[in-house]
Amino acid sequence: MKRKPHLFGIRHHGPGSAALLKGALDVLDPACVLIEGSPEGDALIRHAALPGMKPPLAMLFYAADEAANAVFAPFAEFSPEWVAMQWALAHGRPVRFIDWPAAVSLALGKAAREDDMQPKNAEDEEGTQTTIPAPSRLDPLDLLAEAAGYGDGETFWNGLIEQGGGGQSPLEIFAAIEAAMTEARQHQADAGGMSESEQLREERREAFMRGHIRDALKQHDGEVAVVVGAWHVGGLRAETTVAEDRSIVKDLPKIKVEATWAPWSDGRLSYASGYGAGVISPGWYRHLWSLYSGAGQQGPEAFAALWQARTAALLRQEGFSASTASAIEAARLALGLASMRDLSVPGLAEMRDATLSALCHGDAAQLALVERKLYIGNRIGEIDDSVPQMPLARDFELWCRRARIKPEEADSQIKLDLRSDAGLLKSTFLHRLNLIDIHWGRLIDAEAARGTYREIWNLSWSPEMSVGLAEALVWGLTIEQAAAVATIERGRNANGIAQLSQLVHGALVADLPEAASTCIDFLQAAAVQTNDITDLMKAVVPLVRIVRYGTARKLPEPELRALIVALSSEINAGVRIGSRQLDDDATAARVIAMRAYDEALGVLRDAALLDEWRRQLALMVDDAHVVAPVVGLSLRRLHDLGLWSEQQVSAAFSRQIVGETPARAGGFVEAFIAGSAEVLIQDETLLFLIDEWLCGLDEEVFVESLPLFRRALAGFDSIGRKRVMERIAGGRRQASAARIDETEDNPAFERALPLLRQILGMDA
């Protein structure tokens, strides 16, 4: 009689399926175990039994020549595939994967992306193009649920398998699953529930699986256990020949693939993350698995009590009064609801209803605050130290330990004091990761209180960082080496000196002096050849920030200052001529760059550069060929700095308005008044200068100018606009009679004046 394998149809990441599978393997005691999965992962299976392997984990398969072309195969401790590996390793039985190779899957995926995944069109009889809609895939579990009287397939499977995983006859249950899923699959095929491409994909995968099963039956005399998704059982039972299976997988493309273990997370196991095989509540499934695996729980009472105690603890962390007595009451209520609904143990619905009633007193908002931690979970897997990993992944783990930063799925914020070794180490690590496009941390504040020694980072870990580390291998084998080489490579291919300036900044804050020096050389060479004033301004700003506030790190300050002076001298010499005949986009970019550059020069406090810059501002105000927004910004800066008197500002303002077209006048005014409404309110000269201009317009010019003026005030919020109107209505203030007599001697003020000037940056 022909031998047949034992097919165990499971649900990926189902604790009930895992419990049934463990029981079935104990009863069957197979000679080998085959698991749905890419064969490239066979070499990784032996690591699963190591004590330091703590799920959730994933096998990462990536193209050797293109790490971004990658796929993950995740496992939780309650995943049947993980349980099958553990059982086989514990019993010394051969175990391997039998799905189609990742080499094929990734090659086909790459080809599909290159084809842009465009929908296929068919030409109708009239010659017009008509898109053929893909058939919607029916869920076979929904068909079974309907026949069994359940509302949906998820509820059906949970009630039958996942929450009934203990105490059942596992072999009989799997036989029933096989019969039901085979029938449902046939019903779906008859209904045309799969597209041709989906159908071909499934046929190819199952052809590979059948080939591996045939090989195992030849190699082993004992029973062969096959662990696959329940959907595939019917396909694997199909009677096909070796030739037929080989023909359907013949000539499939392949690429070279690397495989490694990578940490995974509860959030990425959830269906809400977009993971196709995800589950609704990983946290709940882990709790179920603790019941089935006997991890310290004895019966439904302890099961319910532990869940409600965990819920109460999370609620107390959020500031709610969730007492132990209320947790006990919630556990009893959950058990009562389970009994009423004919369940052996309370399900998630019963637990939630009991929590809402006894612990949250009917307030769903309280429960919503802890649902993420409770139902999804926040666990991130760990890999045993003895497992070989990519060099960058290993160095990443070493950095995490040195810097004492632990990956967490939930977003978090850290504040670093760069004067401490610990803070500087964390900052260096995060900056280097950003240079190799691993954006674990995003810098949100590096200049609070002009942040000389302070950084604030938002941290957000994701499993895809493993792919990023694989991609970065082209630059080096350590984080430091990869960051340095990546920075130099980008500097060599940079478009514009502004980008080079940012690279210099990035290299210096990441403590990569050689890379910074190389990028400075690139920047100097590029600055000689450029005539783009806007780009030069953008380049100066980050360099000034480094020199002025980067004193927590060792910097080549003389070289940087020399570079800043050279760039700034070039800007000052060419800004007036370079601000003529600009188009709208170039003008907008110039105004933004001028504001940042003007502020940077004030921070740098180089007297010669400042004097020349301010002289150029005055020249641009009187240059009729300079574009209006640049003139408006120049005049505003002269006013703000107190370099021109009220009469000079008023006269220049009138010259730019009287006789000009509404478009030019509007552009000038918009740049002149841009900023905070509070500044306009407090600056009486500025406010009434604009008020007098508006009041002096005739009706026709006023109507033409109104849209432009409204656009100029668009940055003010409604409260700010209201306060501006109230201030205008109040009229000009009279000079205060309580002014300090400037001739009165005040020794204390005189002694404090030098320090005050230094603080305000006026000592230059």
Domain boundaries, the chain: 6-115+136-273, 296-376, 391-473, 627-733+746-764
Tokens of 251: 């000539």
Q: Give the least confident one: 237-241, 415-419, 662-666.
A: 662-666
Q: Give the least confident one: 85-94, 116-125, 223-232, 363-372.
A: 116-125
Q: Is the predicted pLDDT of residue 79 greater than 80, yes or no? A: yes
Structure-model confidence comparison of residues 576 and 725, the more confident one: 576
Best-predicted range by mean pLDDT among 25-29, 137-141, 164-168, 384-388? 25-29
Confidence at 135, pLDDT banded by 50, 70, 90: very low
Confidence at 186, pLDDT banded by 50, 70, 90: confident
The answer to whether 735 and 690 are in contact (CB under 8 A) is: no
Q: What per-residue confidence (pLDDT) applies to 740?
A: 43
Q: Is the predicted pLDDT of residue 432 greater than 90, yes or no? A: yes
Structure-model confidence comparison of residues 522 and 703, the more confident one: 522
Q: What is the DSSP letter of 63?
A: E
Tokens of 300: 């439904």
pTM comes to 0.70
Structure-model confidence comparison of residues 113 and 674, the more confident one: 113
3-state secondary structure at position 345: coil
Q: What per-residue confidence (pLDDT) applies to 545?
A: 77
Give the amino acid at 637: R
628-640 pLDDT, tens digit each? 889 888 988 888 8
The answer to whether 195 and 134 are in contact (CB under 8 A) is: yes
Best-predicted range by mean pLDDT among 84-93, 174-183, 386-395? 84-93
Q: Is the predicted pLDDT of residue 717 greater than 80, yes or no? A: no
Q: What per-residue confidence (pLDDT) applies to 622?
A: 87
Q: What per-residue confidence (pLDDT) applies to 38?
A: 94
Q: Is the predicted pLDDT of residue 673 greater than 60, yes or no? A: yes
Q: What per-residue confidence (pLDDT) applies to 480?
A: 93
3-state secondary structure at position 244: helix
Q: Is the predicted pLDDT of residue 737 greater than 60, yes or no? A: no
User: How far is the C-alpha of 598 from the C-alpha of 593, rounded, in Å?
Assistant: 8
Q: Is the predicted pLDDT of residue 138 greater than 60, yes or no? A: no
Nearest to 293 by CA among 516, 674, 16: 16
Confidence at 724, pLDDT banded by 50, 70, 90: low
Best-predicted range by mean pLDDT among 403-412, 657-666, 738-747? 403-412
Q: What per-residue confidence (pLDDT) applies to 124?
A: 36
Q: Give the list of residues 6+ apart from residue 589 with CB closer than 8 angstroms, or none.
A: 534
Q: What per-residue confidence (pLDDT) applies to 130?
A: 33
Structure-model confidence comparison of residues 429 and 449, the more confident one: 429
Q: Give the least confident one: 47-61, 237-251, 441-455, 558-572.
A: 441-455
Q: What per-residue confidence (pLDDT) applies to 101?
A: 94
Structure-model confidence comparison of residues 157 and 265, the more confident one: 265
| Residue 511, number of CB atoms within 10 A of its CB | 21
Tokens of 699: 């009706």
3-state secondary structure at position 331: helix
Average pLDDT (286-296) is 78
Instruction: Please report, rounded to a whole number, the percentage of residues in the chain having pLDDT higher than 70.
Output: 81
User: 137's torsion region: left (phi>0), alpha (psi -120 to 50) or beta?
Assistant: beta
Q: Is the predicted pLDDT of residue 536 greater than 70, yes or no? A: yes
User: How far is the C-alpha of 481 from the C-alpha of 380, rounded, in Å?
Assistant: 27
Q: Is the predicted pLDDT of residue 449 greater than 50, yes or no? A: no
The answer to whether 398 and 469 are in contact (CB under 8 A) is: no
Taking all residues of the chain, what is their mean pLDDT, rounded to a whole number?
Answer: 82
Q: What per-residue confidence (pLDDT) applies to 344?
A: 79
Q: Is the predicted pLDDT of residue 736 greater than 50, yes or no? A: no
Average pLDDT (481-501) is 88
Structure-model confidence comparison of residues 532 and 48, the more confident one: 48
Average pLDDT (597-602) is 87
Q: Is the predicted pLDDT of residue 522 greater than 60, yes or no? A: yes
Average pLDDT (677-694) is 66
**Would strands 66-75 and 57-63 be described as parallel, antiparallel, or unpaired?**
antiparallel
Q: DSSP per residue over 274-327, as a string?
A: T-TT-BS-HHHHHHHHHHHTTSS--HHHHHHHHHHHHHHHHHHHTT----HHHH
Confidence at 84, pLDDT banded by 50, 70, 90: very high
Q: How far is CA 632 from CA 48, 141, 264, 573, 752, in A?
A: 68, 69, 55, 20, 36
Q: What per-residue confidence (pLDDT) applies to 131?
A: 34
The answer to whether 162 and 177 are in contact (CB under 8 A) is: no
Q: Is the predicted pLDDT of residue 551 greater than 80, yes or no? A: no
The answer to whether 110 and 69 are in contact (CB under 8 A) is: yes
Q: What per-residue confidence (pLDDT) applies to 462?
A: 85
502-512 pLDDT, tens digit each? 898 889 888 89
The answer to whether 668 and 657 are in contact (CB under 8 A) is: yes
Q: Tell the burial category of 535 from Cβ atoms under 10 Å away from its Cβ (0-12, 13-18, 19+).
A: buried
Q: How far is CA 675 from CA 214, 595, 654, 669, 716, in A?
A: 75, 11, 21, 12, 8
Output phi, psi for 260, to 5 deg.
Answer: -155, 165
Average pLDDT (513-517) is 88
Q: Tell the burial category of 683 from Cβ atoms under 10 Å away from its Cβ (0-12, 13-18, 19+).
A: middle
Q: What per-residue confidence (pLDDT) applies to 445?
A: 63
Q: How far is CA 477 from CA 97, 435, 481, 490, 619, in A?
A: 30, 15, 7, 18, 54
Q: What per-residue confidence (pLDDT) applies to 210?
A: 93
Confidence at 216, pLDDT banded by 50, 70, 90: very high
Confidence at 215, pLDDT banded by 50, 70, 90: very high
The answer to whether 254 and 204 are in contact (CB under 8 A) is: no
Give the amino acid at 619: L
Q: Is the predicted pLDDT of residue 159 greater than 50, yes or no? A: yes
Best-predicted range by mean pLDDT among 29-33, 227-231, 589-593, 756-760? 29-33
Q: Give the least confident one: 127-131, 533-537, 674-678, 749-753.
A: 127-131
Q: What per-residue confidence (pLDDT) applies to 734?
A: 46
